[in-house]
Amino acid sequence: MNTSIKHLLLPAALLAAALSACQKPAETRPEKPEIDQSTIEFSVKVSALETDGATVTMTHNGTDAETYYGFYYTDLETSVTDAINRVAASLTESGADMAEVLFSGTTYITILKDLDPLTTYRYVVFGMNEDKSVYGKPASADFTTLKGPVNFTVSVSGITQTSANASVTSTGDATDTWYCFATEDLTSPLADVVASEVAELGSDLSSVLRDGNDMVQLSGLSAGKSYRAVVTGLRSDGTTYGTPVAASFRTSAPDVDYVENPNWTVTYAGKGSYQGSPADLISVTVSGGSDTYTTGVITV
pTM of the predicted model as reported, rounded to 2 decimal places: 0.55
When pLDDT is averaged across residues 239-260 and rounded to a whole number, the result is 92
For residue 11, pLDDT beyond 70: no
Order of all β-strands in the sheet with 42-47: 42-47, 54-60, 107-112
CATH class, 37-144 region: mainly beta
Question: What's the alpha-carbon Rg for the chain, to the nearest Å?
Answer: 42
CA dist 50 → 38, 56, 134, 170 (Å): 35, 12, 31, 20
The predicted structure's pLDDT at residue 300? 58
Of the given ranges (31-45, 58-72, 110-124), which has the lowest mean pLDDT? 31-45
CA atoms 130, 135, 139, 145: torsion sign: positive
As annotated, the residues of the chain forming the CATH 2.60.40.10 domain(s) are 37-144, 152-250
CATH 3.30.70.141: does it fit domain 152-250?
no
Q: What contacts 140, CB < 8 A, 6 or more positions away?
A: 44, 80, 122, 123, 124, 125
More confident residue, 89 or 273: 89
pLDDT in tens, 43-67: 999 999 999 999 999 999 999 999 9
More confident residue, 222 or 11: 222
Of the given ranges (15-29, 76-90, 127-141, 285-299), which has the lowest mean pLDDT? 15-29
